[in-house]
Amino acid sequence: MKKILLSITISLLVIHTKADDGHKLWLRDKKALPVNITCSINSPTINIAINELKQAWLGKANASISLRIVKNPALKNDGFIINSSGVEALTEAGILYGVYELLRRQQTGQITTGIIISNPSYNYRILNHWDNPDGSIERGYAGQSIFWRKENAFTVTDNDKKLWQEYARANASVGINGAVLNNVNASPLILNEDYLNRTKAIAAILRPYGVKVYLSAKFSSPMQSGGLKSNDPLDPEVIKWWNNKIKEIYSVIPDFGGFLIKANSEGQPGPQDYNRTHADGANMLADALQPYGGIVMWRAFVYSPNDKDRAKQAYNEFMPLDGKFRDNVIIQVKNGPVDFQPREPFSPLFGSMKKTPVMPEFQITQEYLGHSIHLVFLSTMWEECLQSDTYEYGKGSTVAKCTDGSLRPQKNTAIAGVANIGLDTNWCGHDFAQANWYAFGRLAWNNKLKSEQIADEWIKLTFYETQSITSSNNKLAWEQNFLNPVKQMMLESREAAVNYMTPLGLHHIMSANEHYGPGPWWAPARMRADWTPPYYHKADSTGLGFNRTKSGSDAVSQYNEPLASQLNNPNTCPDNVLLWFHHLPWNFKMKSGKTLWDELCIHYDKGIQQVRAFQKIWDKAEAYVDKERFEKVQRKLRSQMNNAVLWKDGCLLYFQQFSKMPIPAYLERPVNNLDDIIKNDTPQRRRPA
């Protein structure tokens, strides 16, 4: 008897503390109830939908659900309707998305009754992988590529297929329907036969999940791979080469999505090498892709070493080309005018291009936000960008509306996220970084969603163990002790990072090329000025910040009124972008009545306090998480804390050399000396494991 009891206790314990490597993401095994499904279609996509329902049904036992393709004017694209009889959509992918939505609602306790109609905000919801053919990933912090590798590069193993399927499923579950499989700093190799065949194998696995494959093409492929004498987009030989190449691609992958192009940016070749414009380059490829239904996503991330203000370059280069692009070209614009900083104002291109579709590019991988070490939920940052008012067509012209077709007629609407996915068991390096992949998909589907809801869903799906929380009492305790504080931590986490890294509109002050630790001092001789922090913070004895007002670089004029005037005036410019637009005296009087210097100190200090609070929240949550994930996150929070203190001490002590003002006595003292921080600012410290 004793023995039996003991084994029961142990098995219960095992359920409670079962190690969890995070590989299942937000799609965890369920104790499903039986469900009856009717559907007249038999196809790979529909079979996935049916299996998902069977595996995860938490609705009424033995309920009857029908899956139907319908014609309904309320539906657009891959949208769906959930009603009492089941899921209806125009397309099979729509059915699949509807099924995932229904299951998500069941799992997260959202309403499943009545009629739910949901259409995607964007037609193209795409992940960009900065994966290289040798398996490395530019700005990847979660291991090597899941698509490419150096050894046995072209063997497709069962393991590969399993992983690609899990990847496709995760994407489909949040509505992502495309993936650019290789780095925008593209290798010409990617268009060679071997790589195209591997792409074909990947496409075959992704296809039933509604995920299309795209590639980044190198503009100089005609010369580098084809042996041509030129890459000039108007040269008939070059045009012919691309036409043949694209024909070849479609013969291998009939539903290939198209190209993503980085041209004349950071040393990449492009049409300007031949005195042609971005439009000449993009249109040449667009014409070749058009017969097959392919698109070109042409990036606007351009700047040159001679610019007085890098933030202005994209607008200057692309605005004169508005209306000159084919209708299967979309201009892909990073959320901010510089480069994925912890905080930037939105790119003025979103509120300016009237005759050319523009798509936002967000960065899911945390290049400037603590890699896979810091816990930073990026949804709030993207929400902030999407909800920013451009005033393009008067008040309420948000970035979301300027890009999703609600303000200007657009054949194609799209959004891209630079993926944070690698071979790490938990895909993203940090268990909480999975939330950023999830959030990107959710916002791409519905750009009006609130981060609060996204965080709520993700925590429930990722951490709520139905097995161990049986009574409603336990559920309440779980919500109070885990869900709510952890959600609060996530929602605050991005602002915390801004506070300890780049408060008040500071930007690009990290050390060296790793973009991890602080480095406002970092400016090696002979380095391009616009790759060094002093170019951006402009700290001197008179003050701090980049003057982008009318008296400075005049970047403010790229914004519409009344925003331009609001930003131009330091008294009306929002504090959170103040030093982005203004160079202000150290004793400038802020809206709070305090000096700029004091506010700077207060913000850095606050960031530290916030991370300390996150540590406490997490430690208190221990009872509600499996040991494996608990300890991993706990360790990472410690490293984040350490790094945050370095940021605060490094930046304040560095800027203090110019301000010559004391850190207010009521704030914590620095615990590191500036010379030590600089001395220890080695590549190792900057590239943490």
Active site residues: 266, 339, 367
Instruction: List binders of ligand GCW among 139-198 (CB under 6 A).
Output: 139, 184-185
Cα(315)–Cα(302) distance, integer angstroms: 9
Residue 348 CB neighbours (<10 A) = 25
Cα(527)–Cα(511) distance, integer angstroms: 13
Instruction: List binders of ligand GCW among 359-388 (CB under 6 A).
Output: 367
Radius of gyration for the alpha carbons in the chain, expressed in angstroms and rounded: 26
Instruction: List binders of ligand GCW among 440-499 (CB under 6 A).
Output: none
| Binds ligand GCW (CB under 6 A): choice among 20, 92, 339, 457 | 339
Smallest gap from residue 184 Cβ to ligand GCW (A): 5
Residue nearest to ligand GCW (CB): 339
Q: Of 139 and 460, which has the nearer Cβ to ligand GCW?
A: 139
Smallest gap from residue 129 Cβ to ligand GCW (A): 11
Q: In this structure, what are the phi and psi dihedrals at residue 179, rounded to the nearest 5 degrees?
A: -145, 125
Binding mask 263-282 for ligand GCW (x = CB under 6 A): ---x----------------
Q: Of 335 and 659, which has the nearer Cβ to ligand GCW?
A: 335
Pair of tokens at residue 316: 């200057």
Smallest gap from residue 265 Cβ to ligand GCW (A): 6
Half-sphere exposure (CA, 13 Å, Cβ side) for 196?
A: 16
Smallest gap from residue 340 Cβ to ligand GCW (A): 6
Q: Of 367 and 605, which has the nearer Cβ to ligand GCW?
A: 367
Residue type, 146: I
Binding mask 199-218 for ligand GCW (x = CB under 6 A): --------------------
Smallest gap from residue 144 Cβ to ligand GCW (A): 17
Smallest gap from residue 363 Cβ to ligand GCW (A): 7
Smallest gap from residue 299 Cβ to ligand GCW (A): 7
Smallest gap from residue 317 Cβ to ligand GCW (A): 15
Pair of tokens at residue 627: 């040991």
Number of residues that bind ligand GCW (CB under 6 A): 11
138 counts as binding ligand GCW under rule CB under 6 A: yes
DSSP 334-363: ESSSSSS-SS-PPPGGGGT-SSS-EEEEEE
Cα(421)–Cα(147) distance, integer angstroms: 10
Place of tokens 């099924």: 99
Instruction: List binders of ligand GCW among 117-136 (CB under 6 A).
Output: 130
Cα(131)–Cα(381) distance, integer angstroms: 24
Contacts 24+ apart (CB under 8 A), 114-118: 114/83, 115/81, 115/82, 115/83, 116/81, 116/82, 116/83, 117/74, 117/75, 117/79, 117/80, 117/81, 118/79, 118/80, 118/81, 118/82, 118/445, 118/446
Q: In this structure, what are the phi and psi dihedrals at residue 178, rounded to the nearest 5 degrees?
A: -160, 155
* Cross-strand partners of 160: none
| Distant-in-sequence, close-in-space partners of 56: CB < 8 Å, separation ≥ 6 | 30, 32, 103, 106, 107
Contact yes or no for 332/300 (Cβ under 8 A): yes
Q: Of 260 and 491, which has the nearer Cβ to ligand GCW?
A: 260
686 counts as binding ligand GCW under rule CB under 6 A: no
614 counts as binding ligand GCW under rule CB under 6 A: no
| Binds ligand GCW (CB under 6 A): choice among 141, 195, 325, 340 | 340
Q: Of 99 and 215, which has the nearer Cβ to ligand GCW?
A: 215
Q: Of 58 and 184, which has the nearer Cβ to ligand GCW?
A: 184
Q: Of 334 and 603, which has the nearer Cβ to ligand GCW?
A: 334
Place of tokens 């040269």: 235
Q: Of 138 and 626, which has the nearer Cβ to ligand GCW?
A: 138
Length of the chain: 689
| Binds ligand GCW (CB under 6 A): choice among 97, 301, 581, 597 | 301
Contacts 24+ apart (CB under 8 A), 101-104: 102/53, 102/59, 103/52, 103/53, 103/56, 103/57, 103/58, 104/173, 104/457, 104/461
580 counts as binding ligand GCW under rule CB under 6 A: no
262 counts as binding ligand GCW under rule CB under 6 A: yes
Using CB under 6 A as the criterion, which residues of the chain lie in contact with ligand GCW when the complex forms? 130, 138-139, 184-185, 262, 266, 301, 339-340, 367
